[in-house]
Amino acid sequence: MTEPVRTRIAPSPTGEYHIGHLRTCLYDYAFAKQQGGQFVLRIENTDQKRYSPGSENRILQDIRDYGLTWDEGPDIGGPFGPYIQTERLNLYQKYLKQLLDDGHAYYCFCSQERLDKMRETQKAAKKIPKYDRHCLHLSPEEIKKNLDDGQSFVVRMRVPDNQVISFNDAIRGKININTKDMDDQVLMKSDGIPTYHFAVVVDDHLMNITHIFRGEEWITSTPKQILLYQFFGWSVPVFAHLTVLLDPSGKGKMSKRKGSVSARSFLDDGYLPEALLNFLMLLGWNPGTNQEIFSLEDFVKQFSLEHLHKKSPIFDRKKLDYINGIYIRQKTDGELLPYFKKFLHAATDDQLAVLIPVLKERTVKFSDLKETVRFLFDDVVYDKELLLKKGTAPKVAVDMLAKTKALFADFSDLQNRITNLIASNNWNVGEYFMVLRVAICGVAFTPPLVECLPALGQTSAIRKIDIALGLLK
Binding-site ranges for ligand GLU (CB under 6 A): 10-12, 44, 200, 214, 218
Output 216 or 247, the one with its CB closest to ligand GLU. 216
Give the nearer residue to ligand GLU in terms of CB position, either 226 or 400: 226
Cβ contacts of 63 within 8 Å, gap of 6 or more: 9, 17, 22, 25, 41, 70, 263
Q: Is the dihedral of CA 397, 399, 400, 406 positive or negative?
A: positive
CB of 44 to ligand GLU, least distance (A): 4
Rank residues 11 and 273 by Cβ distance to ligand GLU and give the closer one: 11
Least distance between ligand GLU and beta carbon 460 (Å):
52
* Pick 218 or 234: Cβ nearer ligand GLU: 218
- What string of DSSP letters covers 207-242? TT--EEEEEGGGGGGHHHHHHHHHHHTPPPPEEEEE
Beta-bridge mates of residue 262: 18
The answer to whether 223 and 168 are in contact (CB under 8 A) is no
CA 244/CA 223 separation, integer angstroms: 20
CB of 11 to ligand GLU, least distance (A): 5
Q: How far apart are CA 94 and CA 122, in angstroms?
A: 34
Q: What one-letter code names the amino acid at 190?
A: S
Sign of CA dihedral 211, 217, 222, 228: negative
Query: Strands 211-215, 238-242: parallel, antiparallel or unpaired by DSSP?
Result: parallel
Q: What are the E-state strand segments in 109-210?
A: 154-157, 164-169, 173-178, 186-188
**Residue (22 or 135) nearer to ligand GLU, CB:** 22
Q: Quick one: 12 or 324, whose CB is closer to ligand GLU?
A: 12
127 is catalytic: no
Rg from Cα positions in the chain? 31
**What residue spans of 86-152 are helical by DSSP H?**
89-101, 112-124, 140-148
What's the CA gap between 402 and 396, in Å, rounded?
10
CB of 313 to ligand GLU, least distance (A): 19
Least distance in Å: CB of 200 to ligand GLU? 5
Question: Which residue is catalytic, options 180, 256, 310, 341?
Answer: 256
> At its nearest, how many Å lie between ligand GLU and the CB of residue 232?
17
Of the pair 213, 433, the CB lying nearest ligand GLU is at 213
β-strand pairing of 186-188 with 154-157: antiparallel
Asked if 438 and 382 touch (Cβ cutoff 8 Å), the reply is: yes
Q: In the bound complex, what is the minimum distance in angstroms from residue 214's beta carbon to ligand GLU? A: 4
Cβ neighbourhood burial of 248 (10 Å; 0-12, 13-18, 19+)? middle
Residue 17 three-state SS: coil
C-alpha distances (whole Å) from 422 to each of 419, 428, 433 are 5, 8, 10
Nearer to ligand GLU, 10 or 261 (CB): 10
Number of C-beta neighbours around residue 430 at 10 A: 11
Q: What are the angstrom distances between the C-alpha of 253 and each of 217, 257, 414?
A: 11, 11, 52
C-beta closer to ligand GLU: residue 28 or 431: 28
Residues marked active site are found at 256
